[in-house]
């Protein structure tokens, strides 16, 4: 499995992502939305949309974080992904992104802008290859990660999942 993962990292030219896993931006639209058309939460303009490859391996996870924009996840290959979401209202939801329709998995899932989310590979000794599309386009200015203590303070009822899926 290690060789397959390294082959994907090399073939897709992936690099480490700050929240965990590996990524490569595959598209950034040339058109932009100006700051005055984005609303008060944004500083500066944003591309219409962006997309990335995202590779996660079973001995790692994508830590809880949020962005301002909606993010669409697309499942490509490997183990199904367990996507954990805490909405702006504090409601916890778990989704399985994959191809086993008989088990209720779907190959696409939308995370609403402003919701906190984390993900993990479901199967041991495996990987999950997905794509993520963000609109308006992703900017690290819109990316936020908090510590375990900060998130637990916001959502004490979700302490277990937060503790398992945060970095510090």
Find the helix or strand (DSSP H, E) in which 37 lies.
helix 35-38
Rounded to an integer, what distance in angstroms lies between the CA atom of residue 47 and that of residue 107?
25
pLDDT of residue 20: 82
pLDDT of residue 39: 86
C-alpha angle 151-157-160 in degrees, rounded to nearest 5: 70
- CA 18 → CA 7, 98, 140, 158, distances in Å? 21, 24, 10, 23
Asked whether the beta carbons of 120 and 54 are under 8 A apart, the reply is no
What number is the average pLDDT over the span 153-160? 98
Percent of the chain with pLDDT over 70: 100
Domains and CATH numbers, the chain: 2-143 (2.60.120.10)
Residues 89-116 have pLDDT tens digits of: 999 999 999 999 999 999 999 999 999 9
Residues 20-71 have pLDDT tens digits of: 899 999 999 999 999 999 988 899 999 999 999 999 999 999 999 999 999 9
Instruction: At 153, give phi and psi (nearest 5°).
Output: -65, -40
Residue 1 confidence class, pLDDT cut points 50, 70, 90: confident
């Amino acid at each position: 499995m290690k060789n397959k993962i390294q082959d994907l990292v090399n073939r897709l030219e992936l690099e480490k992502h700050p929240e965990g896993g590996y990524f490569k931006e595959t598209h950034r639209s040339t058109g932009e939305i100006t700051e005055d058309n984005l609303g008060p939460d944004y500083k500066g303009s944003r591309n219409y949309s962006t997309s990335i490859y995202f590779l996660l391996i079973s001995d790692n996870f994508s830590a809880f974080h949020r962005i301002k924009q909606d993010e669409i996840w697309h499942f490509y290959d490997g183990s199904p992904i367990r996507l954990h979401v805490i909405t702006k209202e504090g409601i916890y939801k778990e989704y399985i992104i994959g191809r086993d329709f008989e088990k209720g998995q779907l190959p696409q899932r939308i995370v609403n802008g402003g919701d906190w989310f984390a993900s993990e590979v479901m199967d041991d000794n495996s990987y999950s290859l997905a794509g993520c599309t963000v609109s308006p386009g992703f900017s690290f200015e819109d990316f936020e990660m908090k510590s375990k203590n900060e998130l637990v303070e916001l959502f004490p009822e979700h302490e277990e999942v937060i503790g398992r899926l945060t970095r510090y």
